Every structure is written in structure tokens, then in C-alpha cells.
């Protein structure tokens, strides 16, 4: 209470006295003086007059008072603001367009930058994400390829305690299945060292993180859920904490749910569940705790220094386990953003350049509008100046108006940026990582707002500057009739704006062209109506496992399922394979060709497939044959290669038939991996019996690499894939296919799509990194250029509209004197058309100048077609934006136009 | 007849403070008091008089309260605040000092300068 009273008192002491109070006091003084004058003998009327002459008018006293206590500046400013708002309301079209274009400029720039920042520059929610690195091994023979390496506990500790390392996280992604429910479900689990909570520094959505205490007693049986898994499997149940989840037939207590933005590990595979790493010790089949490390460097450690410090440690590991390292390699600490940006290349720079272009276009627009408006204000300002307004008052008036406009635009722009940032996601939800959380980037927002305000102020002041150069008397009579000064600053701006817009549009055209090209590129296989199903064999159920442990039993089991699925109505072909999903099938493996020199280690993509794979994917057979059922069961001594393989490795002359009958062997095809079963002669020589067509196997946009197909029975991992070609939509048959599988093995789970699994091959293409990236860029550039175009058109439109409104009288005179309408139209639009054309020419020149660079950056031929399409679209819309407002010039009757003043 | 004196800038405030040092006065009263003390020699610019009062009040040197004047009118009476009393003392001392120094210089004969 006393504080309130104190505030009241303070307010009373600083608050100005109210109007009536001041006036009453003055009046009482006035009357006292008047009374004295009357007493001195003056007549009442005369006394009244004298009193007012001596003391002043009571009405003016309040102004006097506010002046005395220093409020006058604010009063005038308030007046300026009121006047500015009134002026804007008198001309709502101008206000709307100016505010709109500013809002769009600020909003678009901020939104686009925030989006790029969230998706490409800073996609991780982890604390100190910029310091987290990923030690990778770079093979000197293939410097473009890098591999992660696995450490045991002792090695992990060595790295963790190294000088430049602040903290280290070890993880181990693992295939798991959820049991206990109806159908078993494949999930991806990630074991994490128990410091995960502090290492990531991400607050869980529900419950808690994995904590160091979870390592006690060989690891607590707890699990933390990934957001998407929680949504998918538990329907986002908020009361999930404390419940039990059965994984691999053992109960785990759910202790936490991570937020949506947490998608560890984005690069390899996002885990559905996270478990304490110490639990790995209990698994009989894990000989040691194997970790892939992530290191968080100390705040001031440089990458190079850390690299140098860690290299000797890893060299030591290589001595201990030479089999896990190639011959010549070096260590590289890779910031975790790198896998994300691989292939993004210069497009990222282009995108950021696009953001800047957009901002420049927005500012140019604002400036054009203010300049155009400034011209119409010239007359008014001249009058104000002539009747005694000071320079400062006029500057202040204009400043206030510019700020009113810029500020409104900025506020709307901030609001708009939230919506605009979501626009690309609405247009194409699949193109963005589901986890990316797009936040408005405060620094860039501040920057674009500041720039826009600055622009508004600078260009808003131009009329005041011009006023000083011409004397006001000369400006006064000239309204409307006098020919406008020929040089307009905004012509330059229009030209620049058009040029930049053309540049943006051409880039967008290029990106879209590239993406369309990608979509139309022949794949070499037919993804339509093919579905992929993954099944994981029951390695954790010892009873069942013993039944299918042998290679033969496993083959029989799989073939049994295959036949059942093939008998489902609507299914035309079913093929078995292991990890052979295009466009990234198989793995790069070394092989030897009979007759080639020893020591040469050529590589090819090796795919383990059933003989029906080619039919199911419609990969054409070019030469020879595919193996038959018996050969498939045996698995050995036979192989099929693709055309790229034949031309690269087999052709001494140009006859493909040479290829058939040659032999090759693949030493790496052994059954050493856990749960794998290999045939007796899996690494022996294989005869090439057929050559098939090239199907994309290195991503959708890259040339096909040599490939070897061998029967899947050669080496059988504990999981297989079925490629099911159906007559209609494959997903429609999914239910009956599941039922068919269940009829063979009631608890055989089908992979749910979480583990790198997609159901249709078309989806597999859409999830391809390159495809997604190209689509993302097309969308972003498309949105960029649409916004740029909108801004440029607003600029052109408003300038023409302004000059027409300003010159209405002139047009009236011209029409009255008999000028043809077409001519008047031309006069009205001429200047802007000329600047727009100049801008187009400039843009085309700029574009061809940058063409070579762009072509290099955009990974694709620079398409002249898309440039001209963009130019044509821009020219057409610019023409429309010119002519629409110019039409107004000829639509006014001459008589009315002359009376316009 | 004595010649009217024009006030240097800023001295009006000092005079107003002095005028109300005997007790609260309303605006017109202050005006009369100053004229009376000065022997009608001061020509106060009427316009600037109230400006000075407003400024003094704003600075917190005087405070105004509504009351009743001698002829039963409502009038605003001004009196010193504590800060105003201090200000008057300081200003008086400063003025006296300055006047003495200036006077002592001006009193010198031409050959003493």
C-alpha cells in the first residue's frame, strides 16, 4: 500500500497539471488584474482588453504551460503523428501497398532465413551442437567416403579423457523388436552412454533423460521414447511414464519421452527408443561394449588442434585392431552438421543469396513507394514551407510519416514471418525433416526490420532534401500541369528490382527444371506398384531360432512365406532380397575378376537377391540368363552383373557376349556377421551367367555404378526383404499379405517402416536424400521468386498508379487537345516500362554472366529454357502491372480531369 | 521618475522565490509583490511571468495549492518547498558574490585597470 502511495505521489510530482487547472488559475489572475484596472478607473471593456493584452489569452495558456515544462516537443510530435496517420488514411491505397510490401519483404526474408537455418544450418537441438564432432576415418583411396568407427569401452575412455574433449557420448544403434503385444514390431533402439542427458542437454517432454545412475547394477531396465515412436505406438499417451514396454521379450520401464525436435541420430537412423548403454553387457552376443563416439570439444578448442591431439590415440587403436582400419587413412573430426550438408554444396549459398535478394527487393519497393509519394507531397511541403514551417519541422513531419509506415510494415512483417515460415511446409510437408522445428530467427528478424526502417527513413526524407534545393516559390504553382522532372530516382530502383527478380526467377526456374529432370530420369527399374516388406527373423527367441538357424531351414522358411505372399490375390510377383532397395541397394564391396592382375581391388555394389528380383522390379535382362530355383537354393558359383559392370570390367572389345562365362569372386561374402549363415563356397569363384540393364543404384541422380547380383542364399543375414509387385496399389493388399505371412508364422513381425523401411518403392525414391534436397530447393526458390515477383509487381504498379494520379490534369489536357488514347496510355506507362525493360536486360545480362557459376553450383545444365520462361513471365506481369493503373489515365473524362484541382 | 530595469535572463525565477519567502502568494500576488518591492521599477514581461512560475513548479522548488484569495476568489497559492528554500539561499549567495565582483571591477578607476 505504502509503495502504491509512493508511486501516486511520484506521479503527482511529475505528471503535468491538467488543462482546466492551468486555465482556471490563469483566469483567476486575469480577473484579479482586471478588477485592479477597473478600480484604477478604466471602463470594464477596456480593462478586460488591457488585461488580455498584458497577460495573454487564457486559451493559449495551456500551450504556454506545456512549453514551459518541456512538453511542447511531444505535443508537436503527437500532432505530426496524427497528421501522418490522417494523410495515410486519406490515401489508403498507398498506405496499404507500402505497408504490405514492407511486411512481405521483412516477413519473407525472415521466414526464409529461419527456415534455412532450422533445416540446413542448425538442425540440432543439442546443447553446444556446434562443438559436437563425429570422429570419422577417411580412407586415402576414397577420400570422398568416410566411415564411422566403433570403439570398445577402454578406447572410448581414452578418447573421452583426451585434452580437447569436453565430454563424449557413445551410442550403438540396434535392431530390436517389441514383443508382448499382438504382432511383434520391428523398432530401432539406440544404446547410449549414461551421460546422454547432460551431453545432449535437451529437456525431455515427459519424465526424465537417461541418467548416470542408470548404469548401476549392470544397467537399469529403463527406456526413453522418441517423440514419433511415442506418437505412433502409444498415440501420444501423456500418462505413459512408469508403464512397461516389452522389448526383445524383456520388460523395460518407460521413464521419459523426448521432445519432437530430438531425433537422435539423424544421420544413421533415428532411434525409436533409447536405452542405457550398460545394458549391452547383459546381451550374451555382445563381446564388449561397442560404441560409436560423438565428442563435444572444449569451447575454445579448434578443430585442427583437436584433430592433431586425437590422431595419435586413434592410431594406437588401429595398431590394436588392424582389421577394423584400412591401410591408409587419417582421422577427421567432422562437425555433426556435415552429413546434412553433404551435397547441399553451393545451393545453400544460393539460398542465402536468395534471402538477401529478397530483402533488397523489399527495401527497394519500400523506397520506390516513398519516393513516388514524396513527389506528390512536394506541393504540400512547399506550402508549409512558404507559410513559415521550419526545415526541421518539415523533416520531422516526413520522418514521422516514414516511421509510421515502416513501423506498421515491420510489425505486420514480424507477424507475417511466422506464417510465411510455415508456407513451404504446407506446400510440401514431406520435403522437410519431420523433426525440424522452425523458429523465427531473432537476429535476422532484427536485421531486416532495422534495414527496412532505415530504408523507410532515408527515402522518406528525400522530399525534404529536394525541398531545400528548389525554392518553395518555384514548386508552388506547378502542381500536376507542369511536366514532371524527367529523372526519377525510382526508375533506377525499378530497373534494379526487376533485374534482381529476374535473377531469382531464373534460379528458381533452374531448380525446378533440375527437379523435373530428376523426376523424368530413367531409373532402369519400375518402382510403380512395388512394395517392400521387411521381416526380421526371431534371433532372440532361442527355441524358434534353433529351428531356422541353419541356412537350409532358413531358406525353406523364407521361401514358404514367399509362396504364401505370392498366392495373395492381386500380387503378381514376389522376390526375396537382403538390403536391395533401390535407389540405394546393396553395399560397395571389393571383388576379383578371373584373369585380371592380382592386387587390383575393383569395387562394385553387391546385392543379395532372389532370382525373381529382376522380374519384380522389371529390370531387363540384356544377355544370358538369370539363375534358376535350384541354383538359387545352392547359392554358390553363379552371378549376374549389370551393364555398367560389363562395360567397365569385362569388355576388352565391344562385344557384350564376352562377359558371359567370365568368373569373379567376392572375398567379403562370408558368414562372419552375427546371426548370418553362409553357404559352403560363398567366397569361391562365380560364373557370370547374365547381364541385366542398369538400374539406379547410387541415388536417383547419380550414374549407375557397376553391380553384381548373387543369390541371397549365399549369405543370409537374420532379416530379408520381399519385393511385392501388385496389380493395383500395393498398400491395398497389405492387409491380406500380413495375413498370409501370419498363416506361416503367427508371430513373424513385419517391419513397421521405422528401420529405414518404406513400403513402396516410390516412397523410397521420395525419401532419397538427393530427391528430397532437389525438391526442397525447388520449393524454396519457387517461394522466393514468387515473393520477389509479387514485390516487384507491387512496386511497378504503385509507381505507375502514382504518376498517373499525379498527372491527371496533364492527361486531361492531352486528351482534350486530341491525343489518341493509345498515345496517352503510352505516355503514362512509358517511363516505368522503359525502366522495367532496362531491368530485364540488366537481369538477363547478369544471369548469363552468373550462368556459368550457377550451372556449376546447381549440378545440372544451365537451362536457357527456364530463363526465358522466367523472363517472359516477368515481362508479361510487369506489362500488366504498368497498364492496369495507366488505364486510369485515359478513363477520366477530359473535363473532369481539368477540374481535378 | 526612476527608470525601469530589464531583468537579466533567469533572475525572474529568483525574484519569485524571494517574493514568496514570507508566505504563500497567488500568481497575481507575486507579481504585485515584486513590483512593490522593486519600487515599481521592474517591468516584468507578463507572458514570461507564468512561464517562470510553471518552470519553478516543475522543478519542484515551489508548490501550488488551491485556496481562497482576499476577495473570496479561488486562487492558486505558491509556497517554497525545501528544495526551493535551498535554491533561493544558493542563488542569493551566488548573485551577491557575482554582483560584488562585477561592481568591484567596475568601481575601479581607469588607471587601476
pLDDT band at A615 (very low <50, low <70, confident <90, very high): very high
- pLDDT, residue A898, reads 65
pLDDT greater at residue A425 or residue A415: A415
Rg of chain B, C-alpha, whole Å: 16
> Residue holding cell 530401432?
A188
Query: Are A31 and B55 in contact (CB < 8 Å)?
Result: no
- What does the pLDDT look like over A787-836, one tens digit per residue? 888 888 888 887 777 777 777 778 888 888 888 888 888 888 887 888 88
Q: Is the pLDDT of residue A849 over 60?
A: yes
- pLDDT, residue A752, reads 47
pLDDT greater at residue A483 or residue B89: B89
Could you say which of A28, A33, A69 has the minimum Cβ distance to residue B54? A69
Query: Are B75 and A33 in contact (CB < 8 Å)?
Result: no
Mutation for testing the B interface, residue in A25, A61, A67, A70 having most B CBs under 10 Å: A25
Residue B1 belongs to a domain: no
> Residue holding cell 509362396?
A563
Q: How far is B88 from chain A (nearest CA, A)?
A: 20
Residue B70 belongs to a domain: yes
Q: Structural domain tally of chain B?
A: 1
- What does the pLDDT look like over A498-536, one tens digit per residue? 888 888 888 788 778 777 877 777 888 998 899 888 887
Query: Are B64 and A25 in contact (CB < 8 Å)?
Result: yes
Tell me how far apart the alpha carbons of residues A878 and A788 are, in angstroms, rounded to a whole number: 12
Mean pLDDT in residue range A18-24: 78
Mutation for testing the A interface, residue in B29, B40, B46 having most A CBs under 10 Å: B46
- pLDDT, residue A285, reads 52
- pLDDT, residue A435, reads 59
Q: How many beta-carbon pairs below 8 A join chains A and B?
A: 56
Tell me how far apart the alpha carbons of residues A310 and A304 are, in angstroms, rounded to a whole number: 10
- pLDDT, residue A574, reads 93
pLDDT band at A621 (very low <50, low <70, confident <90, very high): very high
Query: Are A68 and B60 in contact (CB < 8 Å)?
Result: no
- What does the pLDDT look like over A378-406, one tens digit per residue? 777 778 778 877 777 778 877 777 777 88
pLDDT greater at residue B66 or residue A848: B66
pLDDT greater at residue A448 or residue A561: A561
* Contact present, A529 and A732 (Cβ < 8 Å): no
Mean pLDDT in residue range A629-643: 89
Between A174-188, A631-645, A878-892, the lowest mean confidence (pLDDT) is in A174-188
* Contact present, A319 and A194 (Cβ < 8 Å): no
In terms of average pLDDT, the best of A175-179, A502-506, A636-640 is A636-640
Long-range contacts of A804-807, Cβ-Cβ distance < 8 Å, separation of 24 or more = A804/A828, A804/A885, A804/A886, A804/A888, A804/A889, A805/A376, A805/A888, A806/A375, A806/A376, A806/A480, A806/A484, A807/A480, A807/A484, A807/A889
Cα angle value A891/A892/A895 (rounded, 5°): 145
Query: Are A69 and B74 in contact (CB < 8 Å)?
Result: no
Q: Is the pLDDT of residue A223 over 90?
A: yes
Residue B5 belongs to a domain: no
Q: 3-class SS at B96?
A: helix
- pLDDT, residue A652, reads 56
Query: Are A32 and B74 in contact (CB < 8 Å)?
Result: no
Evaluated on CA atoms A604, A605, A611, A613, the torsion sign reads negative
What is the percent of chain A with per-residue pLDDT over 70, rounded to a whole number?
84
CA dist list (Å): A521 to A515, A595, A698, A874, B36: 10, 36, 14, 29, 106
Residue B66 belongs to a domain: yes
pLDDT band at A566 (very low <50, low <70, confident <90, very high): very high
- pLDDT, residue B113, reads 63
> What CATH code is carried by the domain that includes residue B55?
1.10.10.10
- pLDDT, residue A342, reads 62
φ/ψ of A879, rounded to 5, equals -60, -45
pLDDT band at A755 (very low <50, low <70, confident <90, very high): very low
Nearest CA in chain A to B28: A29
| Residue B30 structural domain | 11-112
- pLDDT, residue A484, reads 47
- pLDDT, residue A866, reads 73
- What does the pLDDT look like over B59-104, one tens digit per residue? 888 888 888 877 777 888 888 888 888 988 998 998 899 889 988 8
Contact residues on chain A for B55, CB-CB shorter than 8 A: 68-69
**Residue B69 contacts A where some CB pair is shorter than 8 Å:** yes
Query: Are B54 and A64 in contact (CB < 8 Å)?
Result: yes
Q: Is the pLDDT of residue A478 over 60?
A: no
Tell me how far apart the alpha carbons of residues A205 and A526 are, in angstroms, rounded to a whole number: 43
> Residue holding cell 530447393?
A777
**B 12-41 residues inside an 8 A Cβ radius of A:** 26-28, 31
- pLDDT, residue A576, reads 92
Nearest CA in chain A to B47: A55
pLDDT greater at residue A586 or residue A753: A586
Mutation for testing the B interface, residue in A14, A29, A31, A49 having most B CBs under 10 Å: A29
Q: Is the pLDDT of residue A692 over 90?
A: yes
- What does the pLDDT look like over A534-548, one tens digit per residue? 887 776 667 777 777
Give one DSSP letter per residue of A690-713, joined into a string.
EEE-----S-TTSPPPPEEEEETT
Query: Are B73 and A32 in contact (CB < 8 Å)?
Result: yes
φ/ψ of A514, rounded to 5, equals -60, -40
Q: Is the pLDDT of residue A475 over 70?
A: no
- pLDDT, residue A274, reads 93
- What does the pLDDT look like over A330-370, one tens digit per residue? 888 888 877 666 656 566 677 778 878 887 887 787 777 77
Mutation for testing the A interface, residue in B25, B50, B67 having most A CBs under 10 Å: B50
* Contact present, A405 and A88 (Cβ < 8 Å): yes
Query: Are A29 and B75 in contact (CB < 8 Å)?
Result: yes
Q: Taking the CA of residue A743 as centre, how many other CA atoms within 13 Å lie in the half-sphere pointing to its CB?
A: 14
Could you say which of A33, A56, A69 has the minimum Cβ distance to residue B55? A69
In terms of average pLDDT, the best of A142-146, A821-825, B42-46 is A821-825
Query: ipTM of the predicted structure?
Result: 0.79
Q: 3-class SS at B68?
A: strand
Q: Is the pLDDT of residue A431 over 70?
A: no
Query: Are B74 and A56 in contact (CB < 8 Å)?
Result: no
Q: How far does chain B reach from its first CA to its final CA, in angstroms?
A: 33
pTM for this prediction: 0.64
Tell me how far apart the alpha carbons of residues A79 and A73 are, in angstroms, rounded to a whole number: 10
Residue B4 belongs to a domain: no
- pLDDT, residue A368, reads 78
pLDDT band at A677 (very low <50, low <70, confident <90, very high): confident
Cell numbers found for residue A335: 562437425
- What does the pLDDT look like over A861-870, one tens digit per residue? 456 677 778 8
Q: Is the pLDDT of residue A74 over 70?
A: yes
Cell numbers found for residue A774: 532437389
- pLDDT, residue A222, reads 93
- What does the pLDDT look like over A75-103, one tens digit per residue? 777 887 888 778 777 777 777 777 887 78
- pLDDT, residue A310, reads 87
Residue (of A101, A787, A123, A869) closest to A427 by Cα position:
A787
- pLDDT, residue B1, reads 40
Residues in chain B, total = 113
Q: Is the pLDDT of residue A858 over 70?
A: no
Amino acid at each position: 500500500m505504502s509503495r502504491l502511495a509512493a508511486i501516486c505521489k511520484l506521479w503527482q510530482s511529475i505528471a503535468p497539471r491538467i488543462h482546466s487547472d492551468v486555465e482556471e488559475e490563469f483566469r483567476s489572475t486575469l480577473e484579479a488584474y482586471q478588477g485592479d484596472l477597473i478600480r484604477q478607473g478604466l471602463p470594464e471593456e477596456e480593462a478586460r482588453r488591457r488585461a488580455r493584452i498584458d497577460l495573454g489569452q487564457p486559451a493559449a495558456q495551456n500551450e504556454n504551460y506545456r512549453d514551459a515544462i518541456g512538453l511542447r516537443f511531444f505535443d508537436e510530435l503527437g500532432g505530426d503523428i496524427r497528421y501522418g496517420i490522417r494523410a495515410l488514411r486519406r490515401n489508403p491505397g498507398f498506405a496499404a501497398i507500402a505497408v504490405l510490401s514492407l511486411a512481405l519483404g521483412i516477413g519473407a526474408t525472415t521466414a526464409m532465413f529461419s527456415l534455412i537455418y532450422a533445416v540446413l544450418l542448425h538442425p540440432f537441438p543439442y546443447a553446444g551442437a556446434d562443438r559436437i564432432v563425429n570422429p570419422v576415418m577417411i580412407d586415402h583411396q576414397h577420400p570422398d567416403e568416410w566411415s564411422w568407427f566403433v570403439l570398445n569401452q577402454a578406447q572410448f575412455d581414452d578418447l573421452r579423457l583426451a585434452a580437447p574433449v569436453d565430454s563424449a557420448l557413445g551410442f550403438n544403434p540396434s535392431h530390436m523388436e517389441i514383443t508382448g503385444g499382438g504382432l511383434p514390431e520391428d523398432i530401432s533402439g539406440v544404446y547410449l552412454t549414461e551421460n546422454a542427458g547432460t551431453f545432449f542437454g535437451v529437456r525431455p517432454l515427459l519424465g526424465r533423460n537417461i541418467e548416470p545412475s542408470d548404469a548401476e547394477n549392470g544397467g537399469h531396465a529403463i527406456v526413453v521414447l522418441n517423440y514419433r515412436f511415442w506418437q505412433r505406438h502409444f498415440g501420444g499417451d501423456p500418462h505413459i511414464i512408469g508403464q512397461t514396454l516389452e522389448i526383445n521379450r524383456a520388460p523395460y520401464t518407460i521413464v521419459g519421452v523426448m521432445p519432437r525436435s530430438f531425433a537422435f541420430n539423424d544421420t544413421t537412423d533415428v532411434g525409436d527408443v533409447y536405452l542405457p548403454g550398460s545394458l549391452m553387457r547383459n546381451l550374451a552376443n555382445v563381446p564388449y561394449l561397442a560404441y560409436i563416439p560423438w565428442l563435444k570439444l572444449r569451447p575454445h578448442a579448434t578443430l585442427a588442434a583437436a584433430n592433431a591431439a586425437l590422431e595419435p590415440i586413434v592410431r594406437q587403436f588401429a595398431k590394436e585392431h588392424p582389421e577394423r582400419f584400412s591401410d591408409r587413412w587419417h582421422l577427421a573430426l567432422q562437425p555433426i552438421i556435415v552429413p546434412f550438408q553433404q551435397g547441399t554444396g553451393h545451393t545453400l549459398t544460393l539460398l542465402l543469396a536468395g534471402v538477401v535478394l529478397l530483402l533488397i527487393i523489399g527495401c527497394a519497393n519500400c523506397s520506390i513507394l516513398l519516393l513516388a509519394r514524396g513527389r506528390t507531397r512536394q506541393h504540400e511541403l512547399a506550402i508549409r514551407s512558404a507559410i513559415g514551417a521550419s526545415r526541421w519541422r518539415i523533416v520531422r513531419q516526413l520522418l514521422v510519416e516514414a516511421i509510421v509506415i515502416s513501423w506498421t510494415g515491420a510489425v505486420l512483417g514480424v507477424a507475417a514471418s511466422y506464417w510465411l515460415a510455415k508456407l513451404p511446409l504446407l506446400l510440401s510437408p514431406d520435403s522437410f525433416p519431420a523433426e525440424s522445428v522452425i523458429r523465427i530467427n531473432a537476429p535476422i528478424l532484427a536485421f531486416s526490420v532495422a534495414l527496412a526502417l532505415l530504408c523507410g527513413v532515408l527515402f522518406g526524407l528525400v522530399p525534404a532534401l529536394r525541398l531545400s534545393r528548389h525554392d518553395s516559390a518555384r514548386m508552388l504553382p506547378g502542381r500536376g500541369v507542369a511536366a514532371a522532372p524527367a529523372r526519377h530516382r525510382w526508375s533506377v530502383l525499378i530497373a534494379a528490382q526487376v533485374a534482381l527478380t529476374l535473377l531469382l526467377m531464373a534460379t528458381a526456374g533452374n531448380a525446378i527444371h533440375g527437379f523435373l529432370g530428376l523426376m523424368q530420369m530413367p531409373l532402369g527399374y519400375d518402382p510403380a506398384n512395388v512394395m517392400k516388406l521387411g521381416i526380421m527373423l526371431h534371433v532372440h527367441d532361442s527355441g524358434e531360432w534353433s529351428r531356422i538357424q541353419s541356412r537350409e531351414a532358413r531358406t525353406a522358411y523364407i521361401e514358404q512365406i514367399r509362396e504364401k505372399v505370392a498366392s495373395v490375390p492381386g500380387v503378381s510377383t514376389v522376390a526375396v532380397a537382403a538390403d536391395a532397395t533401390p535407389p540405394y541397394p546393396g553395399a560397395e564391396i571389393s571383388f576379383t575378376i578371373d584373369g585380371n592382375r592380382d592386387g587390383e581391388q575393383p569395387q562394385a555394389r553387391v546385392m543379395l537377391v532372389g532370382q525373381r528380383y529382376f522380374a519384380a522390379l522389371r529390370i531387363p535382362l540384356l544377355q544370358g540368363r538369370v539363375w534358376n530355383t535350384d541354383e538359387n537354393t545352392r547359392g554358390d558359383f553363379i552371378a549376374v552383373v549389370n551393364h555398367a559392370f560389363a562395360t567397365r570390367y569385362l569388355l576388352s572389345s565391344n562385344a557384350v557376349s564376352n562377359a558371359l562365362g567370365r568368373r569373379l569372386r567376392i572375398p567379403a561374402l562370408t558368414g562372419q556377421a552375427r546371426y548370418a549363415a553362409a553357404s559352403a563356397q560363398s567366397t569361391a569363384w562365380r560364373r557370370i551367367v547374365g547381364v541385366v540393364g542398369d538400374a539406379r543404384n547410387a541415388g536417383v541422380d547419380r550414374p549407375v555404378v557397376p553391380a553384381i547380383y548373387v543369390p541371397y542364399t549365399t549369405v543370409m543375414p537374420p532379416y530379408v526383404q520381399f519385393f511385392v509387385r501388385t496389380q493395383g496399389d500395393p498398400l491395398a493388399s497389405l492387409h491380406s499379405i500380413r495375413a498370409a505371412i501370419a498363416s506361416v508364422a503367427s508371430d513373424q513381425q513385419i517391419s513397421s517402416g521405422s528401420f529405414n523401411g518404406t513400403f513402396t518403392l516410390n516412397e523410397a525414391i521420395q525419401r532419397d536424400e538427393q530427391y528430397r534436397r532437389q525438391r526442397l530447393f525447388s520449393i524454396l526458390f519457387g517461394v522466393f521468386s514468387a515473393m520477389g515477383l509479387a514485390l516487384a509487381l507491387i512496386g511497378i504498379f504503385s509507381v505507375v498508379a502514382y504518376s498517373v494520379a499525379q498527372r491527371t490534369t496533364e492527361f486531361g489536357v492531352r486528351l482534350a487537345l486530341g491525343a489518341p488514347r493509345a498515345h496517352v496510355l503510352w505516355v503514362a506507362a512509358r517511363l516505368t516500362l522503359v525502366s522495367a525493360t532496362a531491368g530485364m536486360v540488366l537481369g538477363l545480362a547478369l544471369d548469363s554472366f552468373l550462368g556459368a557459376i550457377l550451372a556449376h553450383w546447381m549440378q545440372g545444365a544451365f537451362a536457357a529454357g527456364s530463363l526465358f520462361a522466367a523472363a517472359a513471365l516477368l515481362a508479361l506481369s510487369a506489362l500488366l502491372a504498368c497498364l492496369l493503373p495507366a488505364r486510369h489515365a485515359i478513363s477520366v473524362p477530359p473535363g473532369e480531369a481539368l477540374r481535378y484541382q | 521618475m526612476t527608470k525601469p530595469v530589464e531583468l537579466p535572463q533567469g533572475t525572474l525565477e529568483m525574484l519569485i522565490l524571494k517574493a514568496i519567502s514570507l508566505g504563500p502568494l497567488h500568481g497575481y500576488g507575486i507579481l504585485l509583490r515584486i513590483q512593490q518591492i522593486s519600487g515599481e521599477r521592474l517591468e516584468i514581461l507578463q507572458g514570461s511571468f507564468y512561464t517562470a512560475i510553471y518552470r519553478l513548479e516543475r522543478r519542484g522548488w515551489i508548490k501550488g495549492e488551491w485556496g481562497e484569495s482576499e476577495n473570496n476568489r479561488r486562487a492558486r497559492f505558491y509556497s517554497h518547498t525545501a528544495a526551493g528554500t535551498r535554491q533561493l539561499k544558493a542563488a542569493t549567495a551566488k548573485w551577491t558574490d557575482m554582483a560584488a565582483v562585477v561592481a568591484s571591477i567596475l568601481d575601479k578607476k581607469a588607471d587601476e585597470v
